[in-house]
Amino acid sequence: MIPIRDTAPCHHRPIMTWIIIALCTIIFVVMQWVLPDNISYQAINQFGMIAIRYSNPQWAHDFGLRPDYGFSFISNLFFHADWTHLLANMWFLWIFGDNVEDRMGRWRFLLFYLWCGALATFLQWYFDPSLTIPVIGASGAIAGVLAAYFFLYPLERVIVWIPFIFPILLPIPAIAFLGLWVMLQLHNATEAIFFTGGDVANVAWWAHLGGFIAGCLSYRWFLNSTSADDDTNSLH
């Protein structure tokens, strides 16, 4: 199922959501089309979260990585592997981020986004501390945004397109759509452990779950005081 749009009203321009989307896109374009390949490779390794860098500092030193004191747990959120990776993440942020930013305000939303992304990356490191390839992408932070939307707008409709039933568009309650999304992440994360022995996966499933868990537990801390309790459509 591919989300097309949602029905939740937005009362303010989601400036911070737009800025995050623009920043991720600019970084990706510069990395792909402006910088030489060797510089892009170095940047991905420096700013992507390589788990073994923190589990085995000697390895990082031998590999030539400068100490960053955990900065890559945040910086990795603004890098993406390819166009599909970028577009999928930015599309979800475009659809769901505006309403969450509407309830939090711009700067609280940014702090919430970075908080969820950092905790998501931490969970990925915790479950795969020996990973030697960079973890990059906004997925964990966006998962936190989805969690906030899940609780703030559970009964709003998400209009989805099911490719195999083209051109039918189906309105699905947000609580159902995002619930299915969470179950898929949990299934893929546990499958990666039990059926691949924890080997390298193409998707950081635990980061997705970590971001969603962080969003569920903390979204209310970031709501504007004037909007924290004024939505009868919210779950508590």
> Which stretches within 11-138 are classed as H helix?
15-29, 37-47, 51-55, 57-63, 72-75, 83-104, 106-127
Choice between 127 and 33, residue whose per-residue pLDDT is larger = 33
Kindly report the CATH number that applies to the domain delimited by 2-222. 1.20.1540.10
**Mean pLDDT, residues 98-114:** 97
**Tokens read off for 29:** 């374009």
Q: Which residue has the tokens 């479950």?
A: 127
**Tokens read off for 83:** 């166009």
Contact between 99 and 178 under an 8 Å Cβ cutoff? The reply is no
**Tokens read off for 37:** 């390949």
Choice between 114 and 196, residue whose per-residue pLDDT is larger = 114
pLDDT of residue 186: 79
Whole-number mean pLDDT of the chain?
Answer: 88
Q: Round to whole Å and give the CA distance between 142 and 112.
A: 10
**Mean pLDDT, residues 77-98:** 96
Q: Round to whole Å and give the CA distance between 47 and 134.
A: 8
Report the percent of the chain where pLDDT is more than 70. Answer: 88
pLDDT of residue 232: 45
Q: pLDDT tens across 183-233, in order?
A: 887 777 666 555 554 444 566 777 888 999 999 999 999 999 765 545 545
pLDDT of residue 227: 58
Q: pLDDT tens across 34-53, in order?
A: 999 999 999 999 999 999 99
pLDDT of residue 195: 55
231: buried, middle or exposed (CB in 10 Å: 19+, 13-18, 0-12)?
middle
**Mean pLDDT, residues 156-166:** 85
Q: pLDDT tens across 117-133, in order?
A: 999 999 999 988 988 89
pLDDT of residue 205: 76
Contact between 100 and 14 under an 8 Å Cβ cutoff? The reply is no
Nearest to 186 by CA among 206, 169, 201: 206
Q: Provide CB contacts within 8 A for 160, sequence distance 6+.
A: 1, 2, 3, 4, 169, 170, 171, 172, 177
Extents of the domains making up the chain: 2-222
Q: Round to whole Å and give the CA distance between 28 and 180.
A: 29
